[in-house]
Every structure is written in structure tokens, then in C-alpha cells.
Amino acid sequence: MLGRKVMVLDYVVPTPKGTTWGLGGTCVNVGCIPKKLMHQTALLSTAIQDARKFGWEFDESVKHNWEEMKTAVNNYIGSLNWGYRVSLRDKKVNYVNSYAEFVEPHKIKATNKRGK
């Protein structure tokens, strides 16, 4: 890193419902990734229905558990967040979950979720 210190400041203001998320931005936490995982769930449903038409037999009707799917999606996102943090740590990048703003050309003010 050419002898420089590097810090990543990452903070998202909670939504009106209080939703927050971890490292990785909108796509990973509430956008592309969860949408694609939920889409994959829908495709699996279609594939199961189509499988019966091609000779697959099931002992019982197949059911979907929405809460279990949400837990699986959240666990996957959490694993991505953790992987990003480990990667930053391994590269000796200091990660701080705070809102940052420049107050001078070489000075940053960081505010955490508690306002400190």
C-alpha cells in the first residue's frame, strides 16, 4: 500500500422502518443479491412443477417456507459481509462502520450510529 494507512468508512442511515445493513453496499445487502436469490427460489418452484411432467415423482406435495428462505438469504448476505471484512483486515485496511465527511482537506469527521 505504498506505506499509506487506509480506512474504509461505511455507514447507511437506517430506513424509516429501522433497517440497517452491513459492508457491501446496496447491491449485496438489499438489492441485486437478495433479489437474485429470491428469483432462484421462484425458478426452483417452477422446476419442481415441471419435473413432474417429465416423470419425477414425489411422495408428498412440495411446500415452501417463506421464513426459512428469508433466513437463508440473510445468512448468505451475512457471509458475504463477513468475507469483505476479513478481506479488508487481511489487507490491513481499517474498517469503521461510521458516517464520514471531510471537514478539512486532510481531516475527516466520523459519526457512528450512536451519534458519537
In this structure, is residue 82 part of a structural domain?
Answer: yes
Pick from 76, 82, 70: nearest CA to 23: 82
More confident residue, 102 or 18: 102
In this structure, is residue 13 part of a structural domain?
Answer: no
**Number of domains observed in the structure of the chain:** 1
In this structure, is residue 23 part of a structural domain?
Answer: no
In this structure, is residue 5 part of a structural domain?
Answer: no
Per DSSP bridges, beta strands 107-111 and 99-104 are: antiparallel
Q: 7 forms bridges with which residues in the sheet?
A: 94
In this structure, is residue 88 part of a structural domain?
Answer: yes
Supply the DSSP symbol for 16: T
For 55-79, the pLDDT digits (tens) are: 999 887 889 999 999 999 999 999 9
Q: Phi and psi at residue 109, in whole multiples of 5°?
A: -105, 125
* Global confidence as pTM: 0.79
Work out the angle between the directed axes of helices 32-53 and 66-90 (0-180°, nearest 10): 130
